[in-house]
Every structure is written in C-alpha cells, then in structure tokens.
Chain A
C-alpha cells in the first residue's frame, strides 16, 4: 500500500465530538498529526486529553466528526464498515492497556483469532501463530489460558496477537499501564525491537513522559483534545 508523503497514517484537521445529554464533549479538536512509515510516535497527555480517542480514530475503530484520516493513501472516512474492518484486520495491529485477551481461549487460540477473521488458511495459521509467539518468547505457553499468565506475559501475548497478521502500523494504547515498572520496561524494549526489526510504524498512547522520552522517536502532546506540541524526541 502506498504511503502519503511518507506518512503511514495521518490525521488532518480531525475532530471527534460526543453528545453527553445536553453537553457536547470535544474529545479531539482539529488535530493534524501523522506517523511516518517506520516511526515510533508517542501520543502523550494526561487522562481525558483525547489521546486514546485520536488513536481509535487512526486505528479505524471510530470515525471522526470532521476531518480525515489517511492511512496508506486511503481515506478511512470514505470506507464502509467492511473496508474499515479489513483495514483493522490487515493493516493495523492493536495492543490495549488491559490486554483484552479472550479469557476462555488458550494463547494459541487468542493469537489465531485475527487470522480466522482474515480468513487465512489453517496450515498457514499454525505457522504464523508459532512465529508470533516465538517472537514474544511465549512459544511454550501455547495451551495456557490468559489467567495462567502474568500481566507481562499477557501483554506479550496481546502483542503477538497484534503482530500475527503482519500489520504495517501497530497502535498501542497505554501498553504498560497495567504493568509494574520492570515488566513495562521489558514490554517497551520488545516494542522498540519489533519496530526496528520489522520496520513497523508504532503509535503509542501513554501518560508517562519518561517512558515516551526513552523509547519514542517523536512525541506529540495533547491537552483538552488539542495538539499542543509535536516534535522529535531528542
């Protein structure tokens, strides 16, 4: 898929408003921001700043009230629900703060799920699941259920699930938010390694400035739904 001016994904004048009773919530207001191909972008901000909303818009989970999201040369606003689902399935991988593994499935089944949705053939699936779990060091925990894993292991499994479809962009929403410092550190190391080895674009939401400064190449800061700073991380 072609990139636009080197951007893997780009929000242009994007706003996202919600109606809560009689109050209009401006979660994201006129934000223009892009992540270049192979870049590690951190979206920094305090709680309620709109960073997760912006991430969801870029990941195709939500649609903007106004503005456009261009990913791999395509305007997500022009996509119907099936095209948007295909975008989430084949172009994007997602990691969440609360891991979001399905508790009744084994690790193998959890990681296989995106491949089922993408209608990948069974023999190919087994190969890719093993590869992805090997990548995060969980190849020996195939038959375990999420409840049998530690938080860090669960997040690594979630990362394997996000990578299994070989996405171009990885969106991570507070990936260390539920982990202790040491485990969070190891997850961040893993993310950076993946970004380097696979030349993957990573957009990560975090409220921890030190973490962003340590691992991201560029940091964009949001406050009250607006972009307040965007610059390379020194």
Chain B
C-alpha cells in the first residue's frame, strides 16, 4: 500500500475509537511532558547556574598579582632561577601586554576603597567599587532597578539595595538624586619633594636602580576629597564580577571614574614601599577570557610573563560533570512515565486487533499482504506517538511556565530576583517528539506483528 493511503487508513482507524485512542495518546503526551519537564528543569538549572557563575566571573577570569609579595620583599632578584621569569611590576605596560593576549576580553584593576557617603546631610560608611564597562553586557547587573552607567566616565553611582535602604526607607526614590562621596586621594610624593631620609633609604636599598621594581617608592600623601555622584540604579544582588570580585562594595561607580579618583586603597601601604613614583602599579588585575575553556592558556601565558595567576578552572569541570549526572537522573525519572505510556500503546493496539480481527480478515481477502497489515498498525502507533509527542512537548512547556511562574512568585515574596529555572531548547523539543515516535513504534511492533500473522480464514469467521 502507498504511504499516503496507509496514513489515511491509519488516521481513519484511530478516529473510529477516538476516546480510547485519545486516552492512549494522552498517556504518551503525559509521558513526554514528564520527560520534557524533567529535562527542561535540568537544562534550565544548568543554564541558570552557568549564567550566574559566568556573571560572577569566577570561571572566566584570572586574578593576576605580582609574584613579589610583602613576604619576599627585600630578597634579591638574583635568586630567581633561569626557568622562572624575572619579576615584573604589575603596571600599565603589563596590563596592555595582557590585553594583547589571545582570547582576552578585558583586563581591569580591582579598585575598592572605603568612603564616607553624605546624603541628606547624614554620613554613611561604606565601600566603593569600580565597575568595568563589560559588566553592562555580561549580566552582572541583570535586574538592576533604574539604569546602568550612561558612559564609562559618567559621574554616576549604582547602589546595593542594603546600602540604599540605609540611605532611604524608599530606595527607589533615590534614583536621580545626588550624593557626595568623601574619600582619601593618594598623591605621590616626587623625588624632589621627598625628604633626605627617604632619599637615603633608596640609595641603601638599591643604589642606582630607582626605576626598577625593587626601587623603593617615593611614598604618597593622603588628601581628603569629595565627589558628587548621581544615583542611576539600585541592584538587589551583589554583583561579583571576577575572581576576587568587587568584594564588599556597596556603592558602584564606573571603573574609569574610580581610577581617576586615585583613592587610597587598602593595599597602598604595601605598594608605597616598592613602587617607583613615576610608574603607578596595581595590586592586582583581573583578566577576563572570552570563554572559560580559554582560561588555562591565558593563565599559563600570564605566568610566563612573570606574574602570579589564579583561576578556578577545575571547578567548572566538576560542575559540568554534576549537571550531566543530574540531567541523566532527571531523564530517567521522566522516562518512567513514558515507559508506562508505552504499555498503554501496546494495550490499545492489542485491543484493536481483537476488535478489528474481522476487518483484518477482510483486508487480507481483498489483497492486503501481511506487510500491509503490519504497516497499518505500525503507522497507527506512530500517529499516536507523533500526536502524543507534540502534545507532550506543549504540556511540558506549560508545566515549565507554571513552575517558573510559581518559583518567581516564591522568590518575589522573599525579595529575591526572578530566575528562569526552566529551559526548553529546540534539541529537546525535536528529540522528545522523535523519542515519542520511536517508543510508540517499538510499542506497536508486537501488536503489528500479531495482526499481520492473523489467519484470514479465522479472522473472517470472527464475530
């Protein structure tokens, strides 16, 4: 029989026992919906975790510090072996060199300093953190109330919600208002303005090497300053972009603005004793890779440049393994419902053979080959599987929407930002439908074979 005729006859047969076949199809749909819902939950949670982790910058960043720390200060660089690259200052030259490494998206310093904020005439103690421009697009500030900074050098601030609540009982009213940030500006002391003692100290430490890494700096003075900033946004969660992150920052300003403030930071005391005055250096730099997979190569390249580099690469491998196993388990639980639905298909088709015994006999008497009868039952199973698959994917998607809605309602009541815990990717939609058809065909194999083997004479005698 031709495929079109086979399809028409199969659909006609299914329509005849519409209630039973609909219930069987619904069984398949529930099975597929269960599978889709489970896997969508797995995929959604994986994506959520990946997105959050990617936004956190923990797995696509490398924290770079100078290999020289406060403990080995004063040791001679001559002790370095031939295999170990020479010590270098973590300065702008190094930063630009790192920016040129393959797959490096950006390199930025971590600027974080204590400050006193004055708002409505009251002082508030907090910590300011500089935010790189990339934070706008990478989701770190996803869900920000208000807006992100209008530009990299805008005198604007985004407040962490807890700090915003300290400033006002109605945090949302703060947007558009101005506040004053009081901080300590670091002013380098030039060689000419230095004291005789400091000049002596330099000569004692490294004679004739004032521009080297081991030269003592000229030090700096601290001058109180103020900066007026306009509040443009309020963020519920703490954006922690980068390994080492923005730490305990409660007031976020553009990195460029933060850098221009030259505010004294916690590490400045250490830097003051080892950095030359004419070349400012950084206590640490965050290097962001395009993808977590590229972190290893970047980390290695930075180490070869003579810096200490750290990343959390291994943790991502463990995470992937965890979600693979998690998805597998969810798939197995979801598949159980489909297994039950398979039994439903077998039952329906076996019943159909009993009911349509005489019809099978008539078909054979009219010239249907065993193969035709087999194909007819096979197609009927396939049609039920196809409809069940389509319906199941739709139901699974609806379940996902309902669960997402419920989850977000729950999160909202707990003052937490919304989350997409469900994700139904295309591969899952197509895979689930294909799986439903394959399972239905497998379920139809036994009844179809049994129908094909019916003796036409016996079948025609059946009342």
Check A56 against B457 for contact (C-beta < 8 Å): yes
| B121 CB contacts on chain A under 8 angstroms | none
| A86 CB contacts on chain B under 8 angstroms | 367, 369
Segment with Cβ contacts to A, from B122-130, B342-350, B358-366: B358-366
Given contacts A61-B456, A96-B460, contact A114 B1 (CB under 8 A): no
Contact of A114 among B16, B366, B370 (CB under 8 A): B366
Over the window 314-329 of chain B, the binary record of Cβ atoms lying under 8 Å from chain A Cβ atoms (1 yes, 0 no) is 0000000000000000
Indicate whether B53 reaches chain A with its CB closer than 8 angstroms.
no
Given contacts A61-B457, A119-B2, contact A102 B362 (CB under 8 A): yes
Chain B interface mostly: helix
Indicate whether A165 reaches chain B with its CB closer than 8 angstroms.
yes
Check A62 against B457 for contact (C-beta < 8 Å): yes
Check B12 against A85 for contact (C-beta < 8 Å): no
Using A62-B455, A81-B370, A102-B362 as known contacts, list a sample of 9 further A-B pairs with CB atoms less than 8 Å apart, ordered by residue number in A.
Answer: A61-B365, A61-B460, A85-B370, A102-B359, A104-B12, A113-B363, A113-B366, A114-B366, A118-B367
Minimum distance in angstroms from A113 CB to a CB of chain B: 6
Indicate whether B424 reaches chain A with its CB closer than 8 angstroms.
no
Minimum distance in angstroms from A65 CB to a CB of chain B: 13
Over the window 53-80 of chain A, the binary record of Cβ atoms lying under 8 Å from chain B Cβ atoms (1 yes, 0 no) is 0001001011000000000000000000
| B5 CB contacts on chain A under 8 angstroms | 116, 119
| A119 CB contacts on chain B under 8 angstroms | 1-2, 5
Indicate whether B238 reaches chain A with its CB closer than 8 angstroms.
no
Check B365 against A88 for contact (C-beta < 8 Å): yes
Q: Size class of A's contact patch?
A: 20 to 34
Minimum distance in angstroms from A58 CB to a CB of chain B: 12
Indicate whether B372 reaches chain A with its CB closer than 8 angstroms.
yes
Minimum distance in angstroms from A11 CB to a CB of chain B: 16
> Can you report 24 residue pairs joining A to B where beta carbons are below 8 Å apart?
A61-B364, A61-B456, A61-B457, A62-B455, A62-B456, A62-B457, A81-B369, A85-B369, A85-B372, A86-B369, A88-B364, A89-B367, A89-B368, A94-B366, A100-B365, A100-B460, A102-B359, A114-B366, A114-B367, A116-B9, A117-B363, A117-B366, A118-B367, A161-B366
| B460 CB contacts on chain A under 8 angstroms | 61, 96, 100
